[in-house]
Structure 1
Amino acid sequence: MNQANVVEQLTAEQNQLAKHATNVHKFGGSSLASVKCIERVVDIIRQHCQLNDVIVVSANGNTTDELFRIYHLAIEKGADLSEVILALQHQQAALINSLLNAASAARLNTLLASDIQQISEWMLAAPEQYEAELLAFGEIWSARLLSSVLSETVCPSYALDSRDFLVVNNAIDCFVEREISLRQYRECSRTNQLLVVTGYICKDTKGKSCTLGRNGSDYSATIMASLTHANNVTLWTDVDGIYSADPRVVPQARKLHRLPNAVARELGRLGNPVLHAKTLQPITATNTHLHVASSFDPAVPGTEIGKFGQIAKQELSVTYTNDLILAQSESFIGDSGKQAESVFNALGADTNAGFIVIRQEQQKAVSQWLAAHDTEVSFTPCSILAVVGHNVVSQGQVKARFKRALKHQSCFSIVNSPSGHSLIAVLINPCTTELLNNVHRHMTKDARHIGVVVAGLGNIGQRFLEMLPNQLASVAVLENVHLVGLISSRKALINTDGIEVNQALSLFAEQAKNYDNDLLFSWLSNHPYDELVVVDITPSESFSELYLPFFQRGIHVIGANKWAASSSTEHYQALKNAAQTHKSIWLGNTTVGAGLPVHYSIEDLKRSGDQIIDISGIFSGTLSWLFQTYDGSVPFSVLMLDALAQGITEPDPREDLSGRDVQRKLLILARAAGFTLSLDDIERQDLVPEPLQSLTTEAFLDSAQALDSYFADALSHAKSQQACIRYIASFSANGDAVKASVRLAVLPDSHAFASLTPCDNIFQIKSQWYQDNPLIIRGPGAGRDVTAGGLHSDLVALCQQLVNRTSVVKLKSIEEN
């Protein structure tokens, strides 16, 4: 093949690929309701779309309702339509004139005037013949306007009336005639332009206009994804996802971040207000991902529908539909009943009892179907209330809970869905808001899913993970806690479907990959959980610098890391403010005292109205061991090297002897007590002689005997006074005067700090309530078990705070925008 032919073939292939949209974005009527809304949509398109993507639109705002109103007035005959039609024209013209330049506005207003004239003629002549054609104008005007705005402000764009290519078998089933639709779409589509196509409308095989029903534009969007082989479909609406119940009537409804395909199909079938019954049908056998997001808050992650693991399959939701009909007949028993259930896509059925639940508009068709069977039928108004979730029919505990929730309700029957993904209660009376809220509360209680990311897989991190399986199994508030991330200094394992806690470390060794902070935040910003918690068990100052962006993303932090809580006053206050603003919880009880309840006690005193005036004690397990053990029988350097060999000190013992760690701990506690303090406000005695401070670790250890004379003299002096030496931290406040220091002190042998078990910490807290007899907290202040246990204590405390949180769903009304 010569070079010219190769170029020609590659160009043809590129042009063909160009017709394949990467993304389909659908915008509902509320998202396009006003000038402000449309400008917001344009910004979303500018940020999220590329040429050859597809935009599917509904009619602007309440346009379809107004067209229905015109149609019904026309049917009634004698009603004056002119004012209503003129008001609709003015409404559309106002959008046009506000969003477009003069030339474009003039062109669209001319087209609008022609359409309005056509509407008037149809409605005066034979409105029954033109219902679908009338309703189609809402989407035509919307697509025409948005395409013009995009062409002026963003990129080349063109509008398509979906009736020019989209063909369905009939207006009832609305199954796409794929081959003819695809051929016609390719004939009328253009490359290197952004397509804006009408949702909701199409034609049948006879060329007659028809509509796709409630939320039909969602179905249009997935049809377009199927025709264009799109990778993603985003349904932009006025809520930021699919909820565990209709948030307009259930204030406690919670977002379902991830929804398995089969469960989403069942929700759509049963009448979920966000999902069209057929929305998923065109992309069932594809790898297309479906997202539901809010055009009013596009930065907030919405709901993703697709193939997920066990965590997503645990979600339950509750949905209802009123104004249905219970049809009872002998023909609904056995095989003929199964046939009727399939033919009419019954919302609920029992082929043993002989009934199906249908929509009101199906009553005539059911009567005609039964006439062929020559059997009688009774029709009774009814409603359904359903709990929907992955394989709920096979989950006995879910069914039992559903029955308990309905025990005070007159229920005709509870039936299983054919898919196995819903339990359906058939009610003779309408489902009330009170009943819906009550059942939702029973079915979804304690269902907030909390993802946990553990950073730091050293000694304590490993022990934390070893303890985690038993904690999750035995502590009720941790029921919906899932380990989803493991992070070391260089590698990370993130799995949104959860990491098996019993195999966490081995899975990390096998599957962890290199990461940087950008990659980390790209996942953390789009996590599929109600809450995300980072457990920081690192000693890393650089990792502590991520706390601020964590808080800004609403992520909670449990930290054993001291750097953030002892950072500069300005940075510390910025962290506190960010956590408060974004409702992030920051717990760091293990930063001081390992698992000892020092922070809890300080917080409890403050919360109770007490005022702390003095904090002192021995805050270092290492220094506690050294000075509790040092009696002069061996040189201090020998004792220190022995502690190093046992792992009691840091690899470089100067980290302990410098007092910097104790200084940071005192600062953390003083801040926890409500005082504004910095490290510079705390005097620190460094126990390392200045000549040894700049040496390498190896050189320091070789020269350790230089420490001996100082500590021998200090001990001898103390013993002469029947006293001991201890490295203590002390903080006191007297009005505005604050004194704080960490130093080697001489204490009487009778002092509370004198007789400790080696490695123990002791904390003495004086307050207005505890002045004469201070509060004493004493115990092991270091060690993998107690520190890991303290982290688990924080995790339980954090989850107890989160379990009672509710997120208010704010629905954006047209009037607000």
Structure 2
Amino acid sequence: MTRVVHKFGGSSLSSASRYQAVAQIVVGQCQLGDCVVVSAAGKTTNTLVKLWQSYQQQEQQSFNDILLQVENHQIELINALFQGEKQRQLADILLTELQVITQAANTKTLNEAELLAHGELWSARILANYLSESGLQAQAIDARTLFTVHNGQLVHQQNKQACLATLDNDHIFVVTGFIAADDQGNTVTLGRNGSDYSATLLANYSDAEAVSIWTDTQGVFSTDPRKVSNAIKYPKVCREQANLLARLGNPVLHAKTLSPLKNTSIKLQVRSSFDPEAPGTEIVKAGYSKAKRFITSFDNLDLVRVDRLGVNEVREVSQLIQHSIHHFVQNGEEFLLLPGAFTHQVSQYFAGRLTLVESHLQGFALVAPKADISALELQAKSVLTEQDVVLRFAHSDEDYALFLTDQAIDSDVLAILHDKLVNKGRELAVIIAGLGNVGEVFLEQCQTQVARLQAQFDLKVVGLLRSQQMLFAASGLNLDNWQTQWQNEAQAYEQNEVLERIEELDYEHKVVVDITASESFSLLYPEFVKRDCHLISANKYAGTAQQDWYLSLRQQLEERNLLWRYNTSVGAGLPVNFALADLQNSGDKITQVEGVFSGTLSWLCSEYDGSKAFSDLVLEAQAMGYTEPDPREDLSGRDMQRKLLILARELGLSLDVDDIDLEPLMPEHLATGSWQDFLAKKDELDAFYETKFAQAKANHCELRYTGLLSIAEGGKVDAKVGIAFAEQGSAIANLTPGDNIFVVKTLWYDANPLVIQGPGAGKEVTAAGIHSDLFWLCQNLK
């Protein structure tokens, strides 16, 4: 089975040294069973076209001179690449073929397609023999034995059978591009850029995994890099935009090249044979790449209007002139934009139905995401006015805009257009995991927050994850109706599918925002980091994982220059981590952090005054949704234990969760058994709490449940979570029910500690805290 089809164009084979460079690429990139499709070397096809023209015009001397040019070029290649018997053998075959051409010309039987086919035949023969001389099992294949055309149409099923029968896994096959045969065995050509088309056809017919188009450019750029020095090379371009660019005359890819890949999983990439180590551009299926911005310029075009345009006539005319034609409708009328050299031929085809609207047009087309086109069209017109470029005709559609002018768009104007319309701020793709209460509020807040952040970043929410469903849109989701999109388009997924979609995102930066409470999802963080994702967590598990795992994750983030923020994992929206970091960055030293880090336990302890049983308050808090479904999770203190560990690690301390002493807010034996078992023994909880409460009052204190982290002068750390007696009048004793509080002592804040207090839970404040982390990330990336 063919794994990869590689195609090399004429510029890649223009000299002996280029053949040698291509051979090195084949040796490094190909395996047995792969195919290499070749164009004619250098300008050979153009020279053969001139040879045909001199034959038609019966210019014998010109014919002989051009044929000698052809011979000299091919002999030069053979002599430079081969020696001895192989050199003589190939030269003899070439001279025999040239004699046949001369004889056919003399007898007036020369055929154009058969003449032009020689360029590809010579390239395939030379490269296959050179590869064989280098020790590879290489074989030249004439594509006329693989591709059959009937009444101008490729016979796909027959061609597929021919390819599968011919192409084994014992050779690297060097296949001629550009040519095919009809039912009678006569040579036909596949038209302009037919070798690229041959490569994708061959990939389709042979069930290949991928196609690599090797050219003299490094990939697909935002505009012509020869004219604009800061043109952007895109790592990925979606097929829809590639097709549109092809119809608009972009020279890198052509519309028919892409057609055999429709509805297949075959990968297509454009790479440079002059710089094979450079990453190229991958042309990917819809949804696997965000829409990009392009400016493609053109010249010498004619704009025509056609009456009663038939369904297939654009395709037929395009085949007739072997060139892409752009068709559009404006005000109910059908227009074609075509190369001026073919206008007469096209006019004859339409026989009186064609009207020339504008001729000798220059200009450019702007291709961009649908949401951007309207604003960009206005900007483009403003730039043209500033540069004194007069528009002759303009047209816009949902994903492109045409600007046709009298004067050429020179490099200076093109550079200005590119800077204004294409070069943007940095890009950030946001993937949100967790669409519960906080996640939904976060998305609601995104509608205004994203607009604010886009002044600095091209920020788009591209993925949503919930349980076992995902929704991805590489160009960005519409946040105004994400619920509808979710209902209509969300799909079940496996873990590897999520990782694949994230890896495919071709943004400058990516961030996974984890609003789940899932330990298993947090274990995916190293996989996200491998795919160059920053992390924002409201999930506490990663920050409290085993020290070795945690330190390994931190190291991976540092190695890839990635950022991780999890301020909301402690204190919801309160700026606790920010404050601790600022204090340390200022040169201060933190000696103690004490506080209440649970809104549930804050409310329970502050509300209890002995007038009702503590267990009744617990049940009341459960009914109001303040607690976990099983309130013993709150009473165990494990949540506060994890939060204290996060704070300790933020201070650079090497602790694991077991290094923090834990005293539950209930008798330990009540943690076992079912919830019903607990309810049956709730009197024991009441007695336990009442005793602790009485002890606090006897000491003129308030009963609170706190976390305490102390760092002694020698670096000794004391960390514990449990019942505490807060002195009356202190900040912790006066805590508002439900609030979190953090009392921070430092060298500078010792006698009068720094106090951070406020709601430590709630979907609105938590969502806002996550947005604060996102803003922090953007600021640091900027």
1:687/1:288 CA distance change after superposition, 3 Å: closer
Q: 1:160 aligns with which of 115, 122, 141?
A: 141
Shift of 1:274: 2.8
| Aligned: 1:751 with 2:730 | yes
Q: Distance in 2 between matches of 1:717 and 1:387?
A: 76
Q: Distance in 2 between matches of 1:302 and 1:387?
A: 21
Q: Distance in 2 between matches of 1:552 and 1:607?
A: 29
* SS of alignment partner, residue 41 of structure 2: helix
| Equivalent residue number for residue 179 of structure 2 | 202
- State the TM-score, normalizing by the size of structure 1: 0.71
State the AA in 1 paired with 2:250. Answer: N
Alignment of 1:538-553 (within 5 A): 538-553=516-531
Q: 2:165 aligns with which of 172, 190, 194?
A: 190
Query: For the Cα contact (< 8 Å) 1:456–1:538, is it kept in 2?
Result: yes
* SS of alignment partner, residue 64 of structure 1: coil
Alignment of 1:648-667 (within 5 A): 648-667=626-645
1:735-786 alpha-carbon deviations (Å, 9 max, x no partner): 6604242332222222222212111112234556655654432110011222
* SS of alignment partner, residue 401 of structure 1: helix
1:356/1:457 CA distance change after superposition, 3 Å: closer
| Aligned: 1:485 with 2:454 | no
* SS of alignment partner, residue 279 of structure 1: helix
Alignment of 1:132-151 (within 5 A): 133-134=118-119, 136-142=121-127
State the AA in 2 paired with 1:601. Answer: A
Structure 2 gap ranges (5+): 13-17, 51-62
| Equivalent residue number for residue 38 of structure 1 | 26
Q: Distance in 1 between matches of 2:328 and 2:665?
A: 81
1:514/1:315 CA distance change after superposition, 3 Å: closer
1:453/1:368 CA distance change after superposition, 3 Å: closer
Q: 1:761 aligns with which of 712, 720, 740?
A: 740
Q: Distance in 1 between matches of 2:734 and 2:761?
A: 18
Query: For the Cα contact (< 8 Å) 2:255–2:324, is it kept in 1?
Result: no
Q: Distance in 1 between matches of 2:198 and 2:488?
A: 43
| Aligned: 1:672 with 2:653 | no
> Percent identical across equivalent pairs?
31
Query: For the Cα contact (< 8 Å) 1:452–1:483, is it kept in 2?
Result: yes
1:542/1:150 CA distance change after superposition, 3 Å: farther
- State the TM-score, normalizing by the size of structure 2: 0.74
| Aligned: 1:302 with 2:282 | yes
| Equivalent residue number for residue 787 of structure 1 | 766
Query: For the Cα contact (< 8 Å) 1:24–1:224, is it kept in 2?
Result: no
1:300/1:368 CA distance change after superposition, 3 Å: closer
Count of aligned pairs between the two proteins: 725
1:624/1:437 CA distance change after superposition, 3 Å: farther
Alignment of 1:389-408 (within 5 A): 389=368, 396-408=374-386
Alignment of 1:361-372 (within 5 A): none
Q: 2:410 aligns with which of 426, 431, 450?
A: 431
1:288-331 alpha-carbon deviations (Å, 9 max, x no partner): 4674336768999933256x79x96x64322235xx4478xxxx
Shift of 1:268: 1.8
1:677/1:719 CA distance change after superposition, 3 Å: same
1:128-150 alpha-carbon deviations (Å, 9 max, x no partner): 99776346433444467779999
Query: For the Cα contact (< 8 Å) 1:487–1:493, is it kept in 2?
Result: no
* SS of alignment partner, residue 165 of structure 2: coil
1:390/1:536 CA distance change after superposition, 3 Å: closer
| Equivalent residue number for residue 554 of structure 2 | 576
Alignment of 1:52-451 (within 5 A): 55=35, 57-58=37-38, 64-65=41-42, 88-89=77-78, 92=81, 133-134=118-119, 136-142=121-127, 159-164=140-145, 166=147, 177-178=152-153, 190=165, 193=168, 196=173, 198=175, 200-202=177-179, 212-213=191-192, 216-224=194-202, 228=205, 234-237=211-214, 242-246=220-224, 249=228, 251=230, 253=232, 255=234, 257=236, 259=238, 261=240, 263-276=241-254, 278-280=256-258, 287-288=263-264, 291-293=267-269, 302-305=282-285, 315-321=292-298, 324-325=299-300, 384-389=363-368, 396-413=374-391, 415-416=393-394, 421-426=400-405, 428=407, 431-432=410-411, 435-444=413-422, 446=424
Q: 2:684 aligns with which of 692, 706, 726?
A: 706
Shift of 1:385: 3.4
1:440/1:716 CA distance change after superposition, 3 Å: same
Which deviates further from its counterpart, 409-418 or 784-793?
Answer: 409-418
| Equivalent residue number for residue 545 of structure 2 | 567
Which deviates further from its counterpart, 673-682 or 114-123?
Answer: 114-123
Shift of 1:69: 12
State the AA in 2 paired with 1:625. Answer: W
Query: For the Cα contact (< 8 Å) 1:326–1:358, is it kept in 2?
Result: yes
Q: Distance in 1 between matches of 2:324 and 2:23?
A: 40
Q: Distance in 2 between matches of 1:604 and 1:357?
A: 61
Q: Distance in 2 between matches of 1:350 and 1:700?
A: 74
State the AA in 1 paired with 2:387. Answer: Q
Query: For the Cα contact (< 8 Å) 1:162–1:197, is it kept in 2?
Result: no
Query: For the Cα contact (< 8 Å) 2:429–2:460, is it kept in 1?
Result: yes
Q: Distance in 2 between matches of 1:221 and 1:476?
A: 41
Shift of 1:551: 1.5
Shift of 1:566: 1.1
Shift of 1:571: 0.8
1:363-390 alpha-carbon deviations (Å, 9 max, x no partner): 9999999xx9xxx9x998x964331247
| Equivalent residue number for residue 55 of structure 2 | none
| Aligned: 1:554 with 2:532 | yes
1:536/1:629 CA distance change after superposition, 3 Å: same
Q: Distance in 2 between matches of 1:655 and 1:391?
A: 49
1:251/1:116 CA distance change after superposition, 3 Å: farther
Shift of 1:591: 0.7
* SS of alignment partner, residue 302 of structure 1: strand
State the AA in 2 paired with 1:677. Answer: L
Query: For the Cα contact (< 8 Å) 2:379–2:421, is it kept in 1?
Result: yes
Query: For the Cα contact (< 8 Å) 1:472–1:479, is it kept in 2?
Result: no
Q: Distance in 2 between matches of 1:517 and 1:237?
A: 34
State the AA in 2 paired with 1:594. Answer: A
Q: Distance in 1 between matches of 2:179 and 2:667?
A: 86
State the AA in 2 paired with 1:600. Answer: F
1:318-366 alpha-carbon deviations (Å, 9 max, x no partner): 2235xx4478xxxx88779x999997868899999xx999879879999
Shift of 1:472: 5.4
1:57/1:390 CA distance change after superposition, 3 Å: same
Structure 1 gap ranges (5+): 1-20, 95-105, 170-175, 805-817
State the AA in 1 paired with 2:564. Answer: W
1:143-185 alpha-carbon deviations (Å, 9 max, x no partner): 6777999985xxxx9642224465889xxxxxx9225798688
